[in-house]
Amino acid sequence: MILLRAILIVLPEKQKEVFQTLLSLIEPHGKAKGCLSYEIFNDIEDGNVFNLISAWEARQHLDNHLKSAKFTVLLGIRSLLSEPLKIQIITTAVVEGMEAVRSVRRK
């Protein structure tokens, strides 16, 4: 699994505009090939910080997304940010679930 995390620190007066733009990006990605999830999180301590996190089956699917018109929209809102857009691409080798939690708690 590949994760993409975009960290956006928004100009306070542009918060609503950025949020609406991010919402417009989230719906269609449920249908994008290889997209497992696409979510927006707003920092509870600083409402000007947004995290967009998407999970992809494989790097090729993410690469296709990075070349897409939808990702171009994300890059286009850079002028509404108070700091440069931060992007993190995280490759995960192993993903564990609740069974791992149960195993640790039994010890």
CATH number, domain with residue 43: 3.30.70.100
The range of the structural domain enclosing residue 27 comes to 2-106
Position 26 pLDDT exceeds 80: no
Provide the CA 92 distance to its chain's centre, in angstroms: 15
> What is the pTM assigned to this prediction?
0.83
48-67 residue pLDDT tens: 999 999 999 999 999 999 99
Mean pLDDT of 53-82: 94
Position 43 pLDDT exceeds 60: yes
Position 30 pLDDT exceeds 80: no
Q: Are 3 and 65 in contact (CB under 8 A)?
A: no
Please list the residues that pair with 56 across neighbouring strands.
Answer: 2, 35
Whose CA is closest to 54, among 13, 82, 26? 26
Domain count, the chain: 1
Task: Give the range among 29-33, 55-59, 82-86, 94-98 with minimum mean pLDDT.
Answer: 29-33
Per-residue DSSP letters for 6-49?
EEEEB-GGGHHHHHHHHHHHHGGGGGSTTEEEEEEEE-SS-TTE
